[in-house]
Chains A and B, each alone.
Chain A
Amino acid sequence: MRRAFNIVAAVIALTSGAAVLQLKLTVQAKQDELNVLARQIHDDRDALRVLEAEWAYLTSPASLQERSVRFLALMPPSADQIITDPRIIPFRPKGEFAEADPGVMLERKRLPKRPAGDGQPHGEETSGLDVISDTVAGGGR
């Protein structure tokens, strides 16, 4: 009986030792993984600094203005385009409809002149640039 006990004890000791070793190796692997991740986070943070600087460079007001002038039909807003009270947004004048806004400055024929007093005081000024936002601006006023 003692012998059996000895064998059982030895087997248990061996298996549990092996299991713990296995556990230890797994934990070590996880730890390595963790270190790699930490290293990666560090590298990413480092790269983030470069990207942030690049973002600041690419979105500096000067380059944004240059791109806006080149690709967009946007003009600085005038005081009468800004309303402080949302309850006083004027209705679109009758007979006006919004075309799809291509969003960029395109070569286009001059829009037909609108009848006077259609709620678009700057129609002539904007159409002088042939901007597509003509109708958008008309709707906003």
Chain B
Amino acid sequence: MNAAAFAMDPTRSGYVPSKRRGDEQPVRSQLDMARGRLFAVMILFLLGFMVMIGRTVELGMRENARPRSFAGQIEVPPVKVGRADIRDRNGEIMATNLRTSSLFADATQIRDASAASHDLVKILPQLSLADVESKLASGKKFVWLHRKLTPRQKWQVNALGNPAFRFEEEEERVYPHGRLASHIMGYVDVDGRGLGGVEHFFEDRLSDPDRHKDALKLSIDMRVQYALADELETARRVHSAIGAAGLVFDVTTGEVVALVSLPDYDPNDIRGVSADQLFNRVTQGVYELGSTFKTFTFASALDQGIVSLDDGYDATKPLVVGRFRIRDDHPKSRYLTVPEIFAFSSNIGTAQMALDVGTDGQRDFLEKLGMLRPSTVELTEVGAPMYPAPQQWKKISTMTISYGHGIAVSPLQLAVGTAAIVNGGRLIPATLVADSDGYQNATRVISEKTSHTMNMLLRMVVKKGTAGRADAVGYRVGGKTGTAEKPANGRYNRKALISSFMGVFPMDDPRYVVFALLDEPKGTKETYGFASGGWTAAPVVRNVVLRTAPLLGVAPEGEDEGLYQQVAMKINDKKGH
């Protein structure tokens, strides 16, 4: 009651209106009403707290309940990179961006420059002691010491405990495979912009911030790439060639599985790399590739029904056309059947066949095969083919082009063309990207029947002709050798050769084209001084096939001899003339 009295005392409570009215009754009922309201509010609050308690207890008791997943609510800060990765067809990393640290020093904080530089050079032996010491003694506030330290080196420098050494975080493009596949990858500049290869071609896609997370997947298989590079490097050394090139090409999808150009470079460090090293001999270099071109002459003649396997040409003596003389590298000096002309690589026979096809027929066919326009592969370094202008494409041009002289194309174009000949006659553009659907808009260049005949002829070159050294036992390799003389000062130099071999396997159901080219190989004792394609490039293809066929899923099998009987009977490969 005390409290109530206290509240009712108007002098104390300052409840002015009640005093004015001087009426006890309304004040009381008002007070009651206020108290009642207060009570109601309290009940409400109490209820609120009860609910809160109830809910808290309920939450606390629900430990056994199924834990709710917060996966969607956890926000993991994304790993930010400046450029998307590049991977091979099996997901192997070919190029990635890593954070590295670059070391700089605040020389004003150095107390003992000589001791500090000694410590530092111990960790970074590539630095010169005198250089570091002069930098540290310079008293400048900021001197670069070394860029791109490995995490281990950074840790060691930190362990020195010298406050003058500081780091700046940078991002670096790293190519873990180094030189391997350098011409495919290309390289980037200091700011990470692509300057060559796919790095340049896909610059927009690789540097697109929205697509940094998904890697660019190439059609390259690093294992096959290595096998090809290893074999080519060996052959280049053995034959002291100035360069080499090779590729493995999937004839059914148009995917480039391996692409090697030697000499190559390390994309991780492009300082001091020569133009010759940067030059991509497979896509950029155009060469007169020699007899490998006969494949196209034969395909067009057979497809148009101009010759059949039963025909033949006289190859007893060199052809003389104007001031030119067409001779054979492997002269048989007799009448040769069509399969023999192909197997023994007779220029004389092929030139006569080309005349029967005609200049227009030849040009149309090469046009159809994509020999007269640059390849559409996803590289910037693509060379344009060289060939005579229409008015200069005369009879003699037709004859020389039939065996691969007087026209210069890139090895990639040749591989794409050959693939179209062996895969049933569909021309599929080359691609470096995995799972691309370019093969769906293939164009037909020859009939399936002609393609089948060509496969038999190609296999015969290996079984009985000039490319015996390409025969990888069990893998039914076929192909065509090519030995071209390099033009120098307006004439051909018989000593400087472009020796190549265009191999296909397995011949009963072609899957891959394997091409090898050696630039100016020299003969060795093992090759009896020969430097032609059959002696130098064919063994490379054989070794590559032996090493990679199991990786590419081609099983070795016994061969169905009956398949080639029709052609084999027409080739007389007895020694002596």
A60 and B77 contact, CB distance less than 8 A: no
Q: Which are the 4 A-B pairs with shortest beta-carbon distances?
A: A79-B474, A61-B226, A79-B556, A56-B176
Q: How far is the CA of A13 from the CA of B51 in the complex (A)?
A: 11
Within 8 A of A (CB), among B230-273: 230
Q: How far is the CA of A34 from the CA of B56 in the complex (A)?
A: 22
Q: Contacts A12-B53, A52-B93 given; indicate if A42 touches B77 (C-beta within 8 A).
A: yes
B99 and A46 contact, CB distance less than 8 A: yes
Q: Contacts A79-B473, A80-B474 given; indicate if A19 touches B79 (C-beta within 8 A).
A: no
Is the C-beta of B378 less than 8 angstroms from some C-beta in chain A?
A: no
Q: How far is the CB of A21 from chain B (nearest CB, A)?
A: 11
- Chain A 20-35 interface 0/1 with B at a Cβ cutoff of 8 Å (1 = within): 1001000000000010
B547: A residues at CB distance < 8 A = 76
Q: How far is the CB of B328 from chain A (nearest CB, A)?
A: 34
B556: A residues at CB distance < 8 A = 79-80, 82, 84
A53 and B223 contact, CB distance less than 8 A: no
Q: How far is the CA of A56 from the CA of B94 in the complex (A)?
A: 8
Q: How far is the CA of A42 from the CA of B180 in the complex (A)?
A: 31
Within 8 A of A (CB), among B90-127: 92-94, 96-99
B53 and A46 contact, CB distance less than 8 A: no
Q: How far is the CB of B65 from chain A (nearest CB, A)?
A: 16
Within 8 A of B (CB), among A28-64: 34, 37-39, 41-42, 45-46, 49-50, 52-57, 60-62
Q: How far is the CB of B57 from chain A (nearest CB, A)?
A: 9
Q: Contacts A16-B56, A50-B151, A53-B93 given; indicate if A60 touches B555 (C-beta within 8 A).
A: no
Is the C-beta of A117 less than 8 angstroms from some C-beta in chain B?
A: no
Q: How far is the CA of A12 from the CA of B546 in the complex (A)?
A: 85
Q: 7 additional contacts, CB 8 Å, given A61-B230, A79-B475, A82-B550? A: A12-B46, A17-B49, A49-B98, A55-B93, A56-B92, A56-B176, A78-B474
Q: How far is the CB of B560 from chain A (nearest CB, A)?
A: 15
B50: A residues at CB distance < 8 A = 12
Q: Contacts A12-B49, A20-B52, A61-B223 given; indicate if A84 touches B555 (C-beta within 8 A).
A: yes
Q: How far is the CA of A34 from the CA of B187 in the complex (A)?
A: 40
The chain A residue sitting closest to B50, CB to CB, is A12
A19: B residues at CB distance < 8 A = 53, 56
Interchain CB contact (< 8 A) of A16 among B39, B49, B94: B49
Residue in A16, A38, A76 whose Cβ sees the most chain B Cβ within 10 Å: A16
B56 and A65 contact, CB distance less than 8 A: no
Is the C-beta of A74 less than 8 angstroms from some C-beta in chain B?
A: no
Q: Contacts A20-B52, A45-B79 given; indicate if A62 touches B475 (C-beta within 8 A).
A: no
Is the C-beta of B75 less than 8 angstroms from some C-beta in chain A?
A: yes
- Residues of B in contact with A (beta carbons under 8 Å apart): 39, 42, 45-46, 49-50, 52-53, 56, 59, 70, 74-79, 81, 92-94, 96-99, 151, 174, 176-178, 180, 222-223, 225-227, 230, 472-475, 546-547, 550, 555-557
- Chain A 67-96 interface 0/1 with B at a Cβ cutoff of 8 Å (1 = within): 000000000111110101000000000000
The chain A residue sitting closest to B57, CB to CB, is A19
A42: B residues at CB distance < 8 A = 76-79
Is the C-beta of A98 less than 8 angstroms from some C-beta in chain B?
A: no
A78 and B473 contact, CB distance less than 8 A: yes
Q: How far is the CA of A17 from the CA of B557 in the complex (A)?
A: 82
Mostly helix, strand, loop or mixed at chain A's interface? helix
Q: Contacts A12-B46, A12-B50 given; indicate if A60 touches B74 (C-beta within 8 A).
A: no
Q: How far is the CA of A62 from the CA of B53 in the complex (A)?
A: 68
Q: How far is the CA of A45 from the CA of B75 in the complex (A)?
A: 14
Is the C-beta of A104 less than 8 angstroms from some C-beta in chain B?
A: no
Q: How far is the CA of A54 from the CA of B56 in the complex (A)?
A: 51
Is the C-beta of A111 less than 8 angstroms from some C-beta in chain B?
A: no
Q: How many residues of A contact B (CB 8 A)?
A: 38
- How many residue pairs at the A-B interface have CB separations less than 8 Å? 106
Interchain CB contact (< 8 A) of A60 among B42, B52, B177: B177
A39: B residues at CB distance < 8 A = 77
The chain A residue sitting closest to B97, CB to CB, is A49
A60 and B178 contact, CB distance less than 8 A: yes
Q: Contacts A39-B77, A62-B226, A79-B474 given; indicate if A53 touches B45 (C-beta within 8 A).
A: no
Interchain CB contact (< 8 A) of A20 among B56, B77, B78, B151: B56
A23 and B56 contact, CB distance less than 8 A: yes
Q: Contacts A20-B52, A42-B77 given; indicate if A82 touches B555 (C-beta within 8 A).
A: yes
Q: Contacts A62-B180, A79-B475, A84-B555 given; indicate if A53 touches B174 (C-beta within 8 A).
A: yes
Is the C-beta of A137 less than 8 angstroms from some C-beta in chain B?
A: no
A13: B residues at CB distance < 8 A = 45-46, 49
B557: A residues at CB distance < 8 A = 84
A9 and B222 contact, CB distance less than 8 A: no
Q: How far is the CA of A77 from the CA of B45 in the complex (A)?
A: 85
B550 and A37 contact, CB distance less than 8 A: no
Q: How far is the CA of A98 from the CA of B348 in the complex (A)?
A: 60
B49 and A56 contact, CB distance less than 8 A: no
Residue in A20, A49, A80 whose Cβ sees the most chain B Cβ within 10 Å: A49
B96: A residues at CB distance < 8 A = 49, 52-53
A54: B residues at CB distance < 8 A = 176
Q: How far is the CA of A108 from the CA of B546 in the complex (A)?
A: 29
Q: Contacts A57-B177, A60-B178 given; indicate if A77 touches B550 (C-beta within 8 A).
A: yes
Q: How far is the CA of A82 from the CA of B555 in the complex (A)?
A: 8
A50 and B98 contact, CB distance less than 8 A: yes
A56 and B56 contact, CB distance less than 8 A: no
B230: A residues at CB distance < 8 A = 61-62, 65
A41: B residues at CB distance < 8 A = 76
The chain A residue sitting closest to B3, CB to CB, is A3
